[in-house]
Structure 1
Amino acid sequence: MRAVLFDFSGTLFRIESTEAWLRAVLDDAGIVLAEPELGQVAKALEVVGAQPGGVFPERLPEGLVELWRVRDESAEAHRAAYTGLSRQVPLPRADLHDALYARHMTPAAWAPYPDAADVLRGLSERGLGIGVVSNIGWDPRPVFEAHGLGRFVDAYVLSYEHGIQKPDPRLFAAACAALEVEPRDTLMVGDSAEADGGAVALGCRFHLVRHLPVPERPDALRPVLDLVG
């Protein structure tokens, strides 16, 4: 192996809980909800899939089906899809839906998995190229920088910048080109067999990790160091 590609959300980083996400936005707005009500609203947001990086919607409103399908192909589609889902849940003020969307793009909303830094450092010290290939509608570079991981990443290939989404092999091909490596010499690591596993069609190897809360997944990335030899 000469390079390793990583997914972002659910692979290297995990978004905060829906309740913490909502609480942070309410605190910034100076709005206080009783704990039972806050919990109920957070659960409702989770059910509709309003939090990017969180759980997928249990059911898509008819008017959002097509937008959801292409949500990661542009920043505009991403924002429209997720704020559209959020607006299914009544909030104390209408502007809080946009505030929730803005919150999820901040470094404070994300935590790296416990072994992410060690694994990225180990790969970098071995001279392997490191890329991030993500289906996303915004730039996660500030998240990597704020958590001290940006120095390990050689290339970011983001769906909204290319107008295509994983599992389209063209996104993985762009990452290999950016790192100047052949797909056969590249390992893709991600939490989605469908999306991230699309790298296999290009000739990359693939390693699956589970999308779990940070405390429940302390060392799932460490096998990558053995896989690259």
Structure 2
Amino acid sequence: MTAVLFDFSGTLFRVESTESWLRAVLTETGHRLPGPELTRLARALEEAGALPGGTAPKEVPADLAGLWAVRDESARQHRAAYTGLSRRVPLPDPALHDALYERHMTPAAWTPYPDAPEVLRTLRERGIGVGVVSNIGWDPRPVFRAHGLDRYVDTYVLSYEHGVQKPDPRLFAVACEALGADPRRVVMVGDSRAADGGAAALGCRVHFVDHLPVNRRPDALLPVLDLVV
């Protein structure tokens, strides 16, 4: 194998919990809520699927279904879809919905999985090209920089920058071309069989990991190193 492609959310990084997300925004905006009320609102936001990279919606409202299906094809659609879900939950101040969306794009909202630095560093040492291929509506490069991992990534292929979302094989093809790699000698690593499995159409090998909290997934990326020996 000459290159490895990684998904971002749920693969290399995990977003904070919904309660942490809400608490941080309330603190930043000077809002105070009793503990039980904060917990109730966080649970409602989680059920709504309002946190990008967090729990999927239990049910997508009919009026958002069309937008939800193409949410990762542009920054505008991504914001509209997620703030649309957030607004299903009444908050103390309507401005909090946009503040929540802004918060999730900050490096503070994301934590790399424990083995991500080691795996990325080792791939670089072995001369293996690394790309990030993500269905997303914003630029995660600052997250990688803040956590010191950008030095190991050779290319980013982001759905909103191309107007195409996984599993469309065109995204994976762009990444392989950027790395100068034959897709048949590339591994795609991701947490979504539906989305990341699209790389198989090009002949890529696909390796799946579980989208779990950071403290429950310490070493799921390490087997990737055995695939590129």
TM-score by length of 1: 1.00
Name 1:219's counterpart in structure 2: 219
Residue in 1 that maps onto 2:87: 87
Alignment partners' CA distance in 2, 1:182 and 1:67: 34
> Is 1:139 aligned to residue 139 of structure 2?
yes
Shift of the alpha carbon at 1:206? 0.4
CA displacement 1:137-165 (0-9 Å, x = unmatched): 00000000000000000000000000000
Aligned-residue offset at 1:61: 1.1
Identity of aligned residues (%): 72
1:97 aligns to what? 97
Q: 2-side partners of 1:151 and 1:70: how far apart?
A: 31
Aligned mates of 1:165, 1:129 — CA distance in 2: 22
Write the deviation string for residues 96-142 of structure 1: whole angstroms up to 9, x where unpaired: 00000000000000000000000000000000000000000000000
Residues 196-215 of structure 1 aligned to structure 2 (within 5 Å): 196-215=196-215
2:190 and 2:210 map into 1 onto residues whose CA distance is 8
Listed as ranges, the matches of 1:64-83 within 5 Å are 64-83=64-83
2:49 paired with 1:54: no
Q: Secondary structure of the equivalent of 2:10?
A: coil
1:194 maps to 2:198? no
Give the equivalent residue in structure 1 for 2:27. 27
2:113 corresponding residue in structure 1: 113
- Match of 1:124, as an amino acid? R
Pair 1:184-2:184 in alignment: yes
Q: Secondary structure at the match of 1:197?
A: helix
Q: C-alpha offsets along residues 183-216 of structure 1, whole Å, 9 cap, x if unaligned?
A: 0010000001110011001100000000000000
Q: Which residue of 1 aligns with 2:170?
A: 170
Structure 2 match to 1:228: 228
Which amino acid counterpart does residue 23 of structure 1 have in structure 2? R
Gaps of 5+ in 1: none
Cα distance between partner residues in 1 of 2:219 and 2:40: 33
Post-superposition shift, 1:60?
1.1
Alpha-carbon deviations, 1:37-96, whole Å to 9, x = none? Answer: 000000000001000001111111111000000000000000000000000000010100
Structure 2 gap ranges (5+): none
1:160 maps to 160
Distance (Å, rounded) in 2 between the aligned partners of 1:189 and 1:196 = 7
**Aligned pairs, how many?**
229
TM-fit CA distance, 1:181: 0.6
